[in-house]
Amino acid sequence: MALFVQKYGGTSVGSTERIKNVARRVAKYYAQGHELVVVVSAMSGETNRLITLAKEIQTNPDPRELDVMVSTGEQVTVALLAMALKELNVKAKSYTGAQVRILTDNAYTKARILKIDEDRIRSDLKAGYVVVVAGFQGIDEANNITTLGRGGSDTTGVALAAALKADECQIYTDVNGIYTTDPRIVPEARRLKTITFEEMLEMASLGSKVLQIRAVEFAGKYKVKLRVLSSFEEEGEGTLITFEENHNIMEQAVISGIAFNRDEAKITILGAPDHPGVAYQILGPVADANIGVDMIIQNVSHDGTTDFSFTVNRSEFTNTMGILKDKILPHIGARDIIGGDKIAKVSVVGVGMRSHAGIASKMFRVLAEEGINIQMISTSEIKISVVVDEKYMELAVRVLHKAFDLDRAQ
């Protein structure tokens, strides 16, 4: 008998039929004697419907009011799931984020969870209820409704699991686990039975969008056992996300997966003066415009100048180039700004690479053998990322997947 927090995303609750399926799965666990807290997202399409409605009124909807609106999406789903459970004679009760009191900061549309009052949930569990909680939402100190931003329901699930010290947080999605890479690109891609938090973080942020990155960070911080499962398969153990310290490094493959991302654009400031504060002068106005930056690369300088490169989301490319040309180039005395959005980032990820030399050189050799030119390189302790022309992305993923033996059993 365990306490599970289960999270079901928008596709899993996309219709009343699917909600009934979720209820049957929850009822099965309930019948086995487990305590269950179920976190659900809005029915797929609902959040977009609400945002469209808001935009009919305001081109840029007021963030406070937008949160009041979109939070209704999950509120509808929790009620429907609680009804479906009662229909199966399972005692169930729904809660909004405000009702649980999932306390967040007041950063509307992208709030962060500060604290969860778990007392009421605990007493409901003790009384034999399945507790159904609206994902993605909370309330600030002043009782304003907030949302955690897209995908925030994962974070709600993990945060509840942490607060309740649940045995496992199970994230049900439309895939049955984390794969070595995208099976649509590499048919030989395998489901990983386990993946470390750090690898998962790199995989998620690099574009394997199974879990929300903040949720994974949260799970890591509070040592929540996290499992990704399919809501459309009856059986299947999914992929368990582990802490490295619980992980037998001897059995760990060198590389766990190949991640990729074609949503970025690269920008390079050529001949920037190499003195303290320049990096801040360049990225300050970009950050002020709320543009997220991913890779940042600066090589050693010569002749007192250096080339400074970074990548941004492709949709921000034109905007960022404009800011740089108008506000930055005239002030810092760089030679020029160049950029391109026909790029893709490909990364090999694995905690094993820490103790294995030669991963980088093997990666670069494999790409060279295929005639793929590398435009940028960036590394962390457990990943190596390269930027290549986007037309080579799929080829790069396939050859790397094979070269690192990812198609063989773990």
Contacting positions for a second copy (CB under 8 A): 16, 19-20, 50, 53-54, 56-58, 61-62, 64-66, 68-69, 71-72, 75-76, 78-80, 82-84, 86-87, 93-94, 96, 98-99, 143-145
Would you say 121 or 286 has its CB closer to a second copy? 121
Closest CA to 253 of 382, 399, 394, 361: 382
Closest CA to 109 of 144, 145, 148: 148
Closest approach of a second copy to the CB of residue 52, in Å: 10
47 belongs to an annotated ligand binding site:
yes
Tokens of 304: 């007192």
30 belongs to an annotated ligand binding site:
no
How far is Cα 364 from Cα 379, in angstroms, rounded to an integer?
13
Cα 346 to the chain's mean position, in Å?
17
179 belongs to an annotated ligand binding site:
yes
- Residues 6 or more apart in contact with residue 155 via CB below 8 angstroms: 113, 148, 212, 214, 215, 218
Would you say 116 or 324 has its CB closer to a second copy? 116
Would you say 87 or 326 has its CB closer to a second copy? 87
Token look-up 């457990």 returns: 382
Closest approach of a second copy to the CB of residue 164, in Å: 19
Closest approach of a second copy to the CB of residue 193, in Å: 36
Would you say 55 or 275 has its CB closer to a second copy? 55
Would you say 75 or 173 has its CB closer to a second copy? 75
Specify whether the CB–CB gap between 87 and 130 falls below 8 A.
no
Specify whether the CB–CB gap between 176 and 114 falls below 8 A.
no
Would you say 145 or 216 has its CB closer to a second copy? 145
How far is Cα 186 from Cα 171, in angstroms, rounded to an integer?
24
74 belongs to an annotated ligand binding site:
yes
Closest approach of a second copy to the CB of residue 288, in Å: 23
9 belongs to an annotated ligand binding site:
yes
Q: Is residue 283 helix, strand or coil?
A: helix
152 belongs to an annotated ligand binding site:
no
Closest approach of a second copy to the CB of residue 138, in Å: 13
210 belongs to an annotated ligand binding site:
yes
Closest approach of a second copy to the CB of residue 109, in Å: 13
Would you say 85 or 189 has its CB closer to a second copy? 85
Closest approach of a second copy to the CB of residue 77, in Å: 9
242 belongs to an annotated ligand binding site:
no
Specify whether the CB–CB gap between 190 and 173 falls below 8 A.
no
Closest approach of a second copy to the CB of residue 53, in Å: 6
| CA distances in angstroms from 312 to 295, 309, 322, listed in the order given | 8, 10, 13
209 belongs to an annotated ligand binding site:
yes
Specify whether the CB–CB gap between 163 and 118 falls below 8 A.
yes
How far is Cα 272 from Cα 65, in angstroms, rounded to an integer?
43
DSSP strands (E only) in 60-208: 92-95, 102-104, 113-116, 130-134, 137-139, 145-147, 168-173, 194-196
Closest approach of a second copy to the CB of residue 311, in Å: 34
Would you say 96 or 378 has its CB closer to a second copy? 96
Would you say 76 or 253 has its CB closer to a second copy? 76
Residue 67's H or E segment, with its range, is helix 63-87
Query: DSSP assignment of 83-110, as one string?
Result: HHHHHTT--EEEE-HHHHTEEE-S-TTS
237 belongs to an annotated ligand binding site:
no
How far is Cα 173 from Cα 11, in angstroms, rounded to an integer?
8
Q: 3-state DSSP helix/strand/coil percent for the chain, to nearest 5? A: 40, 25, 35
Binding residue numbers: 7-10, 47, 74, 173-174, 179, 184, 209-210
Binding residue numbers for ATP: 7-10, 173-174, 179, 184, 209-210
Binding residue numbers for substrate: 47, 74
